[in-house]
């Protein structure tokens, strides 16, 4: 059965009245590249003024909450750091608050400064990542460089523009030689959208480590419930009065469905109308559909 498509002011108002917490994907919902979706700033200001909680939930593993907040505020969206929740921060929360990662162990990072910043926030020791010794690798290969550090207790893979053979080999050596070392991926997104097209994403970059180690990774980011566990551990809201808003069926909408939270699909992003209302619709069905998140701005006009 096709989900309801919200069109009228009354439908928008009923939905808003039933929600205390809005979980918002960013690219495709809040903005398209460098351009804010029309009406979104008005909607965010209106929701905050009404006492609604707004949480920006993104799979971007390169940005810390601070950097995500800066990105949103360069677009004049009035974000606070408490409203920002990326997969890098979720991974740090999961390690510290769900797994109780030992203080004397290190994380080997396949990722960038944003992930390292979030690990630092929780006092989690780490190596790899932006370390020039690993980042600036050039052949020939020196195999002795791949001897594992016995203090490493986890390998965390995020998007890494500096991915190279040395990082992959080091990550594999930790996972191969110690079954107690945990493999975590911030997300498995095969691509990421930018500048009107898509390029290889975090999942595509780390698949070599997953395949070589023959390990089943713990995936934190959307659509996995681990991400919601981390969000709830930090924000503690009522899931029955929350709404996940996104433009991607396979990440945002499945994230909400996997977490037993209502979902609102926004068109105009990666999902096409025929995937919902066509002859062969997707098996992933949102609870509600709206043309644009900016459409809620009609509620700000009381005339």
Q: Which one is catalytic: 17, 20, 27, 178?
A: 27
Helices within the chain (DSSP H only): 9-17, 40-49, 65-74, 87-93, 113-121, 132-135, 165-177, 202-213, 225-235, 254-258, 274-277
Q: Which one is catalytic: 17, 20, 25, 178?
A: 25
| Known catalytic residue at 25 | yes
The annotation status of 45 as a binding-site residue, yes or no, is: no
The annotation status of 247 as a binding-site residue, yes or no, is: yes
| Known catalytic residue at 177 | no
Is residue 127 within 8 A of residue 97, CB to CB? The reply is no
User: What is the distance between the alpha carbons of residues 265 and 263, in angstroms, rounded to a whole number?
Assistant: 6
CA dihedral 207, 208, 214, 220 (to 10 degrees): -30
User: What is the distance between the alpha carbons of residues 49 and 16, in angstroms, rounded to a whole number?
Assistant: 13
User: Mind telling me the catalytic residues?
Assistant: 25, 27
Q: Which residues are annotated as a binding site for substrate?
A: 222
Q: Which residues are annotated as a binding site for Mg(2+)?
A: 25, 27, 247
């Amino acid at each position: 059965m096709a989900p309801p498509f919200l069109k009228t002011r009354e439908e928008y108002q009923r939905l808003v009245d039933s929600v205390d917490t809005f979980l918002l994907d960013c690219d495709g919902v809040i903005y398209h590249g460098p351009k804010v979706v029309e009406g979104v700033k008005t909607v965010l200001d209106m929701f905050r003024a009404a006492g609604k909680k707004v949480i920006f939930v993104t799979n971007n593993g390169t940005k810390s909450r601070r950097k995500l907040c800066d990105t949103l505020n360069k677009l004049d969206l009035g974000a606070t750091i408490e409203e920002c929740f990326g997969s890098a921060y979720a991974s740090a929360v999961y390690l510290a608050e769900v797994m109780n990662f030992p203080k004397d162990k290190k994380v080997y990072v396949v990722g960038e400064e944003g992930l390292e910043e979030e690990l630092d926030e929780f006092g989690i020791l780490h190596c790899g990542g932006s370390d020039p010794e690993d980042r600036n690798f050039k052949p020939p290969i020196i195999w002795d460089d791949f001897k594992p550090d016995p203090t490493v207790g986890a390998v965390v893979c995020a998007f890494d523009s500096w991915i190279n053979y040395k990082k992959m080999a080091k990550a594999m050596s930790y996972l191969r030689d110690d079954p107690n070392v945990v493999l975590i991926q911030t997300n498995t997104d095969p691509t990421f959208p930018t500048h009107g097209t898509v390029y290889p994403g975090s999942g595509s970059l780390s698949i070599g480590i997953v395949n070589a180690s023959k390990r089943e990774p713990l995936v934190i980011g959307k659509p996995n419930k681990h991400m919601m566990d981390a969000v709830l551990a930090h924000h503690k809201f009522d899931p029955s009065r929350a709404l996940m808003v996104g433009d991607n069926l396979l990440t945002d909408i499945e994230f909400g469905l996997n977490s037993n939270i209502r979902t609102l699909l926004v068109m105009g992003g990666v999902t096409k109308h025929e995937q919902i209302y066509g002859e062969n619709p997707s098996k992933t069905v949102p609870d509600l559909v709206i043309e644009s998140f900016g459409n809620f701005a009609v509620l700000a006009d009381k005339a």
